[in-house]
Amino acid sequence: MSKLYFTYSAMNAGKSAILLQAAYNYGERGMSVMLWTSGHHGSENAETGKIESRIGLEAEAHLFRSETDLYSAISKRAENAPLHAIFVDEAQFLNEDQVWQLARVGDEMRLPVLCYGLRTDFQGELFEGAAALLAIADDLREARTICHCGRKATMTARLDENGNAIREGDQVSVAKGIYVSLCRQHWNEKVRGVTG
């Protein structure tokens, strides 16, 4: 039970909703959880933010940034009150050290750590956190969504206001409404201009 889990997918597969439902189930059984999400969306001084799903579910969460020592923060919380599980949304934004810190939480504190995030960015490249999780997580799970053609979407494209693929830019953009999930074939056509 004290494993490091990684649930990954393309955009809009419902990862945050799955996370919030699982955390709710723990609470319903009288168990305490600690929720984390990326500080990319919060103000620089904020310590808490929200995990929000597209279907309207939300919960307050601690914010992690690149300098956050997750093992220390979780250990401190566990000293003050019972803790039964850790949930991390937007896990692609973790750095490699933080993924190893979460593995220590599972190994040494014997707590399940459930991470949810994207596998690749809009250019088809692995995020640092996703790469580390794919390498060391005990359990990998794929949340699925579909492309407009009906096939499984495995890729995420970033589009401009005219629906054209953005091929360059920062890996992280927190603007909403500019991402679309596609199967590999349609991502290849849209982003790389490759037709089969």
Q: CB-based burial of residue 174 (10 Å sphere; 0-12 exposed, 13-18 middle, 19+ buried)?
A: exposed
Q: What's the chain's length in residues? A: 196
Identify the pLDDT of residue 30: 96
**Tens digit of pLDDT for each residue in 52-70?**
998 999 999 999 999 999 9
From the candidates 47, 67, 90, 189, which is the catalytic residue? 90
Q: How confident is the model at residue 40 (pLDDT cuts 50, 70, 90)?
A: confident
Closest CA to 2 of 152, 105, 98: 105
- Identify whether the C-beta of residue 143 lies closer than 8 Å to the C-beta of residue 8: yes
Identify the pLDDT of residue 178: 81
Identify the pLDDT of residue 174: 57
Domain range summary for the chain, segments of one domain joined by +: 4-143
Task: Using the predicted structure, report yes or no on whether residue 17 has a pLDDT greater than 90.
Answer: yes
Query: 90 an active-site residue?
Result: yes
What is the mean pLDDT of the segment spanning 4-23?
A: 95
Task: Please give the mean pLDDT across all residues of the chain.
Answer: 91
Identify the pLDDT of residue 168: 79
The CATH number corresponding to 4-143 among 3.30.420.280, 3.40.50.720, 3.30.1360.70, 3.40.50.300 equals 3.40.50.300
Strands 113-118 and 85-88, bridge-based pairing: parallel
- Identify whether the C-beta of residue 152 lies closer than 8 Å to the C-beta of residue 146: yes
**Tens digit of pLDDT for each residue in 77-108?**
999 999 999 999 999 999 999 999 999 999 99
**Tens digit of pLDDT for each residue in 116-161?**
999 999 999 999 999 999 999 999 999 999 999 999 999 999 888 8
Identify the pLDDT of residue 36: 98
Task: Using the predicted structure, report yes or no on whether residue 176 has a pLDDT greater than 60.
Answer: no
Report the greatest alpha carbon distance in the chain: 58
Here the tokens at position 115 are: 């991470």
Higher pLDDT, 7 or 47: 7
| DSSP string across the chain | ---EEEEEESTTS-HHHHHHHHHHHHHHTT--EEEEEETTSS-TT-SEEEEE-TTS-EEEEEEE-TT--HHHHHHHHHHHS---EEEESSGGGS-HHHHHHHHHHHHHS---EEEEEESB-TTSPBPHHHHHHHHH-SEEEE--EE-TTSSEE-EEEEB-TTSPBP-SS-S----SS-EEEE-HHHHIIIII----
